[in-house]
Each structure stands twice: as C-alpha cells, then as structure tokens.
C-alpha cells in the first residue's frame, strides 16, 4: 500500500500552537508528515535549525507519523531528495495566501511533480506568529495557549537572560 506523505516546511522559529495544530490535523489526511525545518537566509533566527528541530521532536515525541528533519537550500531539491512531492502549507491570513501562492507557482515551475496543499489555521490560532510570540515572552508575558511548554521554556531561557 502506498503511503500518503507530505512535507510541512518552515522556519519554525519558534514553533507555535498554530504550527502544531496544522501538523496534527494533517495526520487525518496523510499517513506521515515530514516537518522540515528550513535554514532561512532571509531571516535572523533566534534558534539554530538544530534547536528548532529538537523542540519539534520533543513536541511530537512518540508520534511515529511525524518525522522532523532539517534542510538547507530549495524546498524543491529537498522534496526530490526525499521522493515526496506533496507540500503542506498553513494559511492564517490573505497575506499568507498571496505569499504561499507565489511560492507554490515557483515550486511548480521548478518541479512540475510538486503539489501544494493549503490548510487554514483554526481561528483561535490565526493571530499567532513566531515574531509576536518572541515579543510577548521577551517582555515577560506567558505563552499559554500560544506555544508548547517546551518552546516557552526555551524562549524564556533565550530571551530573558
């Protein structure tokens, strides 16, 4: 039997409850989701790719249907290397959709086998972004309902020292 596998790629700096929700809900559609932590040259991350992957591995520990990996370079090249041509992308806002549709078309041009599946974020997570969460934690706020306790602990260590 052929497995339905998707790649959910992103910077995950840090992973939010919105990211977790998309990945968990996608397991109702896919047999396996590869969470691919990107080394993003255009952003200044606060966590190394390995630290972000470690947080995600902790969050999904014991779930054999979620694999966490790190990649650098074009997502299309990573997908080819893995032999997986379905990309899963979360959408919070129309701005996300505009950006993601451009990326999907560029990826499809580079690799015609690639298909992008969009999943809308549940309303209670639509306001979450990694940058907002970093600011909340940096100024002494709490992350309950926005980030996993593993992520909150790591953010507090990093931003409140």
19 is catalytic: yes
Active site residue 92: yes
The one catalytic residue among 19, 52, 89, 154: 19
Domain membership of residue 132 (yes or no) is no
Catalytic residue flag (residue 153): no
Strands, DSSP E only, in 2-159? Answer: 5-10, 32-39, 66-72, 86-91, 115-120
Annotated catalytic residue within 4, 43, 113, 124 = 43
Domain that holds residue 16: 5-126
DSSP single-letter state for residue 93: S
Report yes or no on 29 lying in a domain. yes
Alpha helices in 5-93 (DSSP H): 17-26, 49-59, 75-82
Q: Write out pLDDT tens, residues 106-120.
A: 999 999 999 999 999
The answer to whether position 68 is within a domain reads yes
Query: Domain containing 62 — which CATH number?
Result: 3.40.50.620
Beta carbons of 114 and 87 less than 8 angstroms apart: yes
Q: Are strands 5-10 and 32-39 parallel, antiparallel or unpaired?
A: parallel
Mean pLDDT, the chain, as a whole number?
94
In a domain, residue 80? The reply is yes
Q: How does pLDDT run across 110-152, given as a tens digit for each residue?
A: 999 999 999 999 989 988 898 899 999 999 999 999 999 999 9
**Does residue 99 form part of some domain?**
yes
pLDDT digits (tens, 9 = 90+) for 77-94: 999 999 999 999 999 988
Q: Is residue 145 part of a domain?
A: no
Catalytic residue among 26, 89, 130, 154: 130
Number of domains into which the chain is organized: 1
* 160 within some domain: no
In the annotation, is 130 catalytic?
yes
* Predicted TM-score (pTM) of this structure: 0.93
* Residue 160 predicted with pLDDT over 80: no
């Amino acid at each position: 039997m052929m497995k339905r596998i998707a790649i959910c790629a992103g910077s995950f700096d840090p992973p939010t409850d919105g990211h977790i929700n998309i990945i968990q809900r996608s397991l109702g559609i896919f047999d396996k989701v590869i969470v691919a932590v990107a080394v993003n040259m255009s952003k200044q991350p606060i966590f190394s790719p390995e630290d972000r992957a470690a947080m995600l591995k902790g969050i999904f520990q014991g779930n054999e249907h979620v694999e966490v990996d790190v990649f650098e370079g074009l997502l299309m090249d990573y997908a080819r290397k893995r032999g997986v041509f379905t990309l899963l992308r979360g959408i919070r806002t129309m701005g996300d959709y505009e950006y993601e549709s451009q990326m999907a078309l560029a990826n499809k041009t580079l690799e015609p086998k690639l298909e992008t599946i969009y999943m809308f974020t549940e309303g209670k997570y639509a306001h979450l972004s990694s940058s907002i969460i970093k600011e909340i934690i940096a100024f002494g706020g709490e992350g309950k309902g926005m980030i996993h306790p593993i992520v909150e602990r790591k953010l507090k260590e990093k931003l409140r020292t």
